[in-house]
Structure 1
Amino acid sequence: MTDLIVTTEGRAGRITMNRPKALNALSWEMSLALEAGLNAWKDDPAIDLVVIDACEGRAFGAGGDIRNMWEHGSKGDYAYSRGFWSDEYRMNALLRNYPKPVVSFVDGIVMGGGVGIASNCSHRCFSEKTLLAMPETGIGLLPDVGGTFILSRSPGRTGEFLGLTGTRIGVADAIFAGFADHFVPSADHAALKAELCESGDVLAIGRYARDPQTAQEPEVAPMLVDLQDEIEDIFNDTTPMAIVENLQASKADWAQAAAKAILRACPLSVASTLIAIRNAREMSTIEEALAEEYRFTYRSQEFGELNEGVRAQIVDKDRNPQWASPRLEDVWPDRAMFMLSDLGENEWKHGKRA
């Protein structure tokens, strides 16, 4: 079975994530195949737009293939993961800057590497089944694949909240935070895709888009838009330790849950994520953010805590990572700054190979 289906239909290039048993986790081969398809259609006059979706199942894409990275990294082979990330980020940048409309359809779980595909598209159609998160701090990474760039442009301090805690959100919050554009009910996805392929015209999306508030179950509240003042007050502080103290001082359930999530996560990742999101606010292109993210991911196995995070969450599944630096005070700010410092000759240069 092909993990990524690349074909054409009418006026559209079609890319379908097709690895359902792995929740469409993105492999290195899938990333390269996706990039090749995009490059093939970029100057093809027969193709007006690109449609990216996933096979029927629970997920659009639940992240990158981090187990494979762990298998290499735990043996001291860091080149594998570094090569994967370099090529993946090049594909992310291509998606973000693509000269033709790219329409993503999310109808389930979308996290990490899946977000790097779905949310870097120009037209992003998410359904009521959406479950989006950037949970990288829990495994010793930081929100990458352009995640810091997207989070830096979320309203107020929403980006810090989502990036540090890995909180899961639905379609309305995904639109509010800047990860999606339209709520298109799951039942309408097939019809909209067919119309896009036939017409090659993205204006068709407007006929299917609905009010995202109607997609939320009542028990999902409070929504991000309703928490803005509190999030601003709590996450506007300068250090991750102060942010945790602010959360713990709040009587709100969401704040207590956020504090616990941050304290469970990898301290080095939390501290680096806070710096990276705030740095990204001063950047004008996704390439700048990807280059900074690459500095962290490049070091994440050799000098960071990724191997232990993946062991605890994915491999042994004991959910009990033994962080080498277990307190935020241990890593703020020096070690976090080191993880994001210039790589010299190893800097990410738009993913170009030497």
Structure 2
Amino acid sequence: MSHQPVKSHQPIVFEELKTADGALIAVARLNTPKALNSLSLEMIRLLTPQLKRWAEDDRIRAVWIEAEGDKAFCAGGDIIALYRSMTEPQRGAGASEGAAFFTEEYEMDYLIHSFPKPVVCWGHGIVMGGGIGIMAGASHRVVTEASKLAMPESSIGLYPDVAAGWFLNRTPGRTGLFLGLTGARMNAADALFIGLADRFIKHELKTAVVADLIAQNWKGEDAFAMVGSVLRQHENQSADALPESPVRAHFDEINRVTDADSLTVMVAQMMELASGDGWLAKATRPLEAASPTSLALCWQHLRNCRQDSLSEVLAKEIMLSRNCLSKGEFAEGVRALLIDKDKQPRWRYASLAEMDSEWIDSFFKN
């Protein structure tokens, strides 16, 4: 029994698929492929209430989140819209729209993390920033041979958010800190190694996975175990396509260069790798152009959140992100990379060494 996806012009498409025994599998499909399914406030305001309805509906046994197109699951938040809210406030409405975006995005992320039913996220293609925010909370996170994950916020004057203060602190060694500072791209095997994914399944098997879920008898069964069993079978068929994990291969070196008592020393140690070739050089090279403010925010935020619960982390991130909206560094980063595209951001401080500690402290205050 195969399922043909519904075509629609809505930014998110919702479906409910009937199973063999009359239960339902709910599907949410991000549907702005030309924008790499970047997350807008409108999409958040569609998805959150729908997830709440599905949580309460006893007929729904599991939720499946995917995206239209082959390029990206979700390339992050719609930061061009956020830029407009920072630079073109309409009688005060713009700044509040940016604050609403972050607040409602994090509420949605928390809802996925705490969802009472299985949530499968099919993380095919590019999964960055806000895309990882959706995926990280799913109970069954699937990556494919084309998955490319990253938290590249330091290149635009932001910091790794969407609960990164929680999930980057739970990775092996200091890999989370390394990936947060550099914005390095991860493949499927890296995501499995650091704990951001649960299963590797070839993308060509997606239709078969959905068909198998529909074919199950769900009544009276443990829905989480049922989903796990179906995914495990398809993962076993995919083992030959799993790539090597560069993060795992370079684990000792990553821990060595992130062993420092100050961020300035740490970044200098990491930058020494940038002149070589291979994965580590490619991973650390973006540090040269990154916002020093962003690097300091990432470092401090991860330190502040080490012992925090998920809800405590997200509460801190709401405040931090609101401050990022008003202090100019984020707007300048987006301008240079995505608006004027001159790739010449004029960061407030040219280097970590020049930075005033009071500037960073101000981001962590209401």
| Common fold: TM-score over 0.5 | yes
Candidates 282, 285, 306, aligned match of 2:330: 306
Alignment of 1:250-269 (within 5 A): 250=273, 253=277, 254-269=279-294
Candidates 197, 214, 218, aligned match of 1:180: 197
Larger Rg: 2
Answer yes or no: is 1:270 the counterpart of 2:295: yes
Structure 2 CA distance for partners of 1:314 and 1:197, relative to 1, 3 Å: farther
Alignment of 1:61-210 (within 5 A): 61-76=74-89, 77-199=94-216, 200=218, 201-202=226-227, 203-210=229-236
* Identity value in percent: 35
Residue 221 of structure 2 is matched in structure 1 by: none
Question: How many Å apart are 1:107 and its aligned residue?
Answer: 1.4
Unaligned runs of 5+ in 2: 1-8, 19-23, 219-225
* Conserved 8 A contact 2:193-2:245: no
Q: TM-score, with normalisation over the residues of structure 2?
A: 0.87
The one-letter amino acid paired with 1:139 is I
The one-letter amino acid paired with 1:230 is E
Q: Report Cα offsets for 1:177-201 as digits up to 9, x if no partner.
A: 1211100111111111222234353
How far, CA to CA, are the matches of 1:255 and 1:116 in structure 2? Answer: 25
Answer yes or no: is 1:20 the counterpart of 2:44: no
* Aligned-residue CA RMSD (Å): 1.9
Deviates more, 1:297-306 or 1:194-203: 194-203
Q: Secondary structure at the match of 2:142?
A: strand
How far, CA to CA, are the matches of 2:115 and 2:294 in structure 1? Answer: 30
Candidates 1, 13, 20, aligned match of 1:5: 13
Unaligned runs of 5+ in 1: 344-354
How far, CA to CA, are the matches of 2:212 and 2:237 in structure 1? Answer: 21
Q: Report Cα offsets for 1:124-156 as digits up to 9, x if no partner.
A: 011101011110111011111112211111100
Question: How many Å apart are 1:79 and its aligned residue?
Answer: 1.1
* Conserved 8 A contact 1:95-1:121: yes
Structure 2 CA distance for partners of 1:214 and 1:336, relative to 1, 3 Å: farther
* Conserved 8 A contact 2:187-2:245: no
Question: How many Å apart are 1:38 and its aligned residue?
Answer: 0.8
Q: Secondary structure at the match of 1:300?
A: helix
The one-letter amino acid paired with 2:235 is A
Deviates more, 1:195-204 or 1:110-119: 195-204
How far, CA to CA, are the matches of 2:197 and 2:317 in structure 1? Answer: 21
How far, CA to CA, are the matches of 2:258 and 2:357 in structure 1? Answer: 17
- Count of residue pairs the alignment pairs up: 338
Residue 247 of structure 1 is matched in structure 2 by: 270
Q: TM-score, with normalisation over the residues of structure 1?
A: 0.90
